[in-house]
Amino acid sequence: MTPPRIAYTKPSITELEVSYATDAARNGWGERCYEYITRFEDAFRTHLGVRHAIATSSCTGALHMGLAALGVGPGDEVILADTNWIASVAPVVHLGADPVFVDIRPDSWCADPALVEAAITPRTRAILAVHLYGNLCDMDALLAIGARHGIPVVEDAAEAIGSVWRGRRAGSMGAFGAFSFHGTKTMTTGEGGMFVTNDDALYERVLTLSNHGRARSQTKQFWPDMVGFKYKMSNIQAAIGCAQMERIDELIAGKRRIFTAYREGLADVAGVSMNPEPAGTQNGFWMPTVVFSRDRGVTREMLQAAFARGNADARVFFWPLSSTSPFDRGDGLPVARDIAARAINLPAYHDITDDELQRVVSILRDLP
């Protein structure tokens, strides 16, 4: 008999989420229609240690508004790593700016700061630091480069809840941070996101943009001050978010339990490396990932076939964005292409059992 399929991600939903969502659906209307939203923003702000938070319908929306508020537009360039999901770069394209892809570091799988600095031109308007799979970008280096050139560094921390860089949480260090609460992320509201910043003026601009361009100082009813966006989170989603925030330490610890089980199960296997956690940092381990050394000869396709045989989900490491159809700039930058060809993301849903973790370990141990 085939054992049941192992999913790669599923949210952790308890009676708490159900009761808050039920309360929001039943009572969260009229003058109470923002209660859970405000509470969720406050809890998130406190967790992250930032001054301002605005709940959004997605991380993509938060990035779109944040970049728009920084003035990113046609003729501008935004630098980001080649290894990324399309959501990080789509807002750059929507704003009419040109993405500039740089290669990743082989140790962090995130943008190589030396290449970021080399890619700066008079048109560079922002550096987009994406913390991949929970791994942190070298924020000291990127912030120093940004300061040297007068270019804001912004953080896509969608995958990095629980990641901490020298005492500062991912998403709290740049000009702004963006988070995702999509159903596959460490914490979820179904769909949803968050914009965070310590910059009072930037906060006001995004608040106005997020309210269809109506400034909160505007007293005239239905009077837009500019054309804005509509990327709001509903009170019902925020209710689920409030419950997830009460459980945030447990949700982060759960990802570490899964990562640790994989690392220990694979400790004696030659030529396997996993998500790094350099001294002075914590990795939120959203997506445990294995990269096989070149001499092992294990390929993405072999890994996909082995997981299919083992009835377990696994995700390919992100393709180099520059190689995908919308950009079509060749085969991808060398390190981005090379690592993706010999790596795989492992199943990491919160309620995965120890037996299931061992099944995944066996799939990897049994590879030739």
Q: What is the DSSP letter of 289?
A: E
Rounded to a whole number, what is the distance in angstroms from the first to the last CA of the chain? 24
Cα dihedral 18, 23, 24, 25 sign: positive
Applying CB under 6 A, does 348 fall inside the site for ligand PLP? no
Of 85 and 319, the one with the shorter C-beta distance to ligand PLP is 85
The β-bridge partners of 289 are 345
Applying CB under 6 A, does 159 fall inside the site for ligand PLP? yes
Q: What is the DSSP letter of 184?
A: T
Applying CB under 6 A, does 108 fall inside the site for ligand PLP? no
Please identify which residue in the block is written with the tokens 């490491």. 317
Q: Which residues contact 247 (CB under 8 A, 6 or more apart)?
A: 12, 14, 16
Distance CA 104, CA 364 (A): 25
Shortest reach from residue 294's CB to ligand PLP, in Å: 26
Applying CB under 6 A, does 193 fall inside the site for ligand PLP? yes
What does each C-alpha distance from 198 to 68, 167, 204, 241 come to in angstroms?
17, 16, 11, 21
Given candidates 6, 11, 28, 60, which one binds ligand PLP under the rule CB under 6 A? 60
Of 180 and 211, the one with the shorter C-beta distance to ligand PLP is 180
Looking at residue 368, its amino acid is: P
Applying CB under 6 A, does 163 fall inside the site for ligand PLP? no
Of 178 and 335, the one with the shorter C-beta distance to ligand PLP is 178
- Which of 14, 53, 6, 25 is CA-nearest to residue 248? 14
Shortest reach from residue 203's CB to ligand PLP, in Å: 20
Applying CB under 6 A, does 130 fall inside the site for ligand PLP? yes
Given candidates 9, 58, 210, 211, which one binds ligand PLP under the rule CB under 6 A? 58
Applying CB under 6 A, does 244 fall inside the site for ligand PLP? no
**Binding-site string for ligand PLP from residue 136 to residue 155, where x marks contact by CB under 6 A and - marks none:** --------------------
Applying CB under 6 A, does 158 fall inside the site for ligand PLP? yes
Q: Which residues contact 57 (CB under 8 A, 6 or more apart)?
A: 191, 192, 193, 231, 232, 233
Applying CB under 6 A, does 82 fall inside the site for ligand PLP? no
Q: Among residue numbers 172 through 191, which ones bind ligand PLP (CB under 6 A)?
A: 180, 182
Specify the stretch interacting with ligand PLP by CB under 6 A; choose among 54-62, 139-147, 319-327, 330-338. 54-62
Distance CA 343, CA 132 (A): 14
Shortest reach from residue 156's CB to ligand PLP, in Å: 5
* Count of residues engaged in binding ligand PLP, rule: CB under 6 A: 13
Given candidates 85, 231, 285, 319, which one binds ligand PLP under the rule CB under 6 A? 85
Applying CB under 6 A, does 234 fall inside the site for ligand PLP? no
The β-bridge partners of 282 are 164
- Which of 118, 110, 47, 36 is CA-nearest to residue 80? 110
Applying CB under 6 A, does 81 fall inside the site for ligand PLP? no
Looking at residue 343, its amino acid is: A
Shortest reach from residue 59's CB to ligand PLP, in Å: 3
Number of residues assigned to the chain? 368
Distance CA 43, CA 355 (A): 35
Binding site for ligand PLP (CB under 6 A): 58-60, 85, 87-88, 130, 156, 158-159, 180, 182, 193
